[in-house]
A and B are shown apart, each in its own frame.
Chain A
Amino acid sequence: MELDAFDHHSSIPGTTLFDGEMAMKGYALNKMCYSFNKKESREEYLRDPEAYFDKFGLNDEQKQACRDKNVLAMIKAGGNIYYLAKFAGIYKMSVQDVGAQQTGMTTEEFKEKLLRAGD
């Protein structure tokens, strides 16, 4: 199957469709994040993040995105937001913190934007 033949990129600005190609690209990263459902896994990660990246076979792009806690970079590297939320949770980042980081706002500005959506 020639994956390149599919145009998986969304024409919706600021939106990546998480499809088969992205799911293959991000598999190791998402699998690591899925493991964070378990407390023991979160603790093992925090003891040695680099060893934990290698355990799941993350590539260099994925490792650097995780080191930087850069959500847009993690999405570009194939991360799916539902699994990345578990990574964010380790660092006590809320979905508003994650939204703020991706949109270049402070968390307070992002929350204000959400409130304004109801106007």
Chain B
Amino acid sequence: MATIIGGLTTSHIPAVGNAIAKELFDDPYWKPFFKAYPPIREWLDVHKPDVAINIYNDHGLGFFLDQMPTFAIGAAHEYRNEDEGWGIPTLPPFPGHPKLSWHIIESMVADEFDITSCQELPVDHGFTVPMQLFWPGLGDNPNFPRAIPVSANTVQHPIPTLKRAYAFGQALGKAVRSYPEDIKVVVLGTGGLSHQLDGERAGFINKDFDLMCMEKIVTDPEELTKISRHELVRQAGAQGTEFLMWMMMRGALGDKVTPLHQNYHIPISNTGAGTMMLECAA
């Protein structure tokens, strides 16, 4: 049977993609951010997951307001990165795992989650930056896994509640663990932490709230499900609602996790950048 070995979180800011392209790993601005990743890569080198379920939020590449799924799951052989409007060179396609995708979709819909399935899904920086951070070199990296994108709407309110995001993760975890092949899966929760790009409150970052979330997501994620969406916007900023992805990831890991590594740094671009490595109980 398939096993979930753990969960990884990271911010997925577009500027990180630029910094990777320019190899600014030792630049004084970037070093406190990039130093978070070598221990995670070492863990991935040891455990070599076959599949990465990459939970992110599309920012206006894969979906527009004409059709906006609340929860979408990729079910394609591969996923392509495309121009997001800034003319940045695009990355090679990411191999998918459609058999596992459809197993997850079957299982989750049976569990009464209403999923949008996607046989074509252009993936933006929310998906690609974490893949670059965890598996440098992407397809040239010998440990590069197959990927399944899962996107939740944080573009347009009503967005999902934290409670629903966590329950989604639990159903996702159940689905993966019922897959009959012996494969290893890692779940990525990407985005956040606190930031706000729009309005007179642009530049808002909330270190105390971020650190509280990073603590509770390990020890008491249920407590975080009590935060309302309005309160999340207030405390994390308008785009800090991306914390929903972390809750989805956490739900998939099961009750007990061991935090192996974490980092928090302000600012990367406009954001409080949080990175975590959580291992599932054996």
Query: Residues of A with Cβ closer than 8 Å to B?
Result: 10, 12-20, 23, 27, 30-31, 33-34, 36-39, 42, 71-72, 75, 80-86, 89-90, 95-96, 98-99, 102-103, 110, 113-115, 117-118
Instruction: Let me know if A114 and B60 touch, CB within 8 A.
Output: no
What is the interface of chain A mostly: helix, strand, loop, or mixed? helix
Q: Does B203 contact A (CB under 8 A)?
A: yes
Can you pick out 19 interface pairs between chain A and chain B where the beta carbons lie within 8 Å of each other? A18-B156, A19-B158, A27-B65, A37-B83, A37-B85, A38-B83, A39-B87, A75-B199, A81-B239, A83-B60, A90-B85, A98-B197, A98-B202, A103-B202, A110-B202, A115-B266, A117-B207, A117-B267, A118-B265
- CB-CB under 8 A from A31, the residues of chain B are 64-66
Known: A37-B82, A86-B60, A117-B205. Contact between A16 and B87, CB under 8 A? no
Q: How many interface residues does B have (CB within 8 Å)?
A: 38
Instruction: Let me know if B267 and A114 touch, CB within 8 A.
Output: yes
Q: How many A-B residue pairs have CB under 8 A?
A: 129
How far apart sit A18 and B159, CA to CA, in the bound complex (Å)?
10
How far apart sit A16 and B239, CA to CA, in the bound complex (Å)?
12
Shortest C-beta distance, A38 to chain B (Å), equals 7
Choose one: A14, A30, A72; the contact of B65 (CB below 8 Å).
Answer: A30
Instruction: Let me know if B199 and A16 touch, CB within 8 A.
Output: yes
Query: Residues of B with Cβ closer than 8 Å to A?
Result: 15, 59-61, 64-66, 82-87, 155-158, 196-203, 205, 207, 230, 233-234, 238-239, 265-267, 269-270, 272
Instruction: Let me know if A23 and B199 touch, CB within 8 A.
Output: no
Instruction: Let me know if A102 and B200 touch, CB within 8 A.
Output: yes
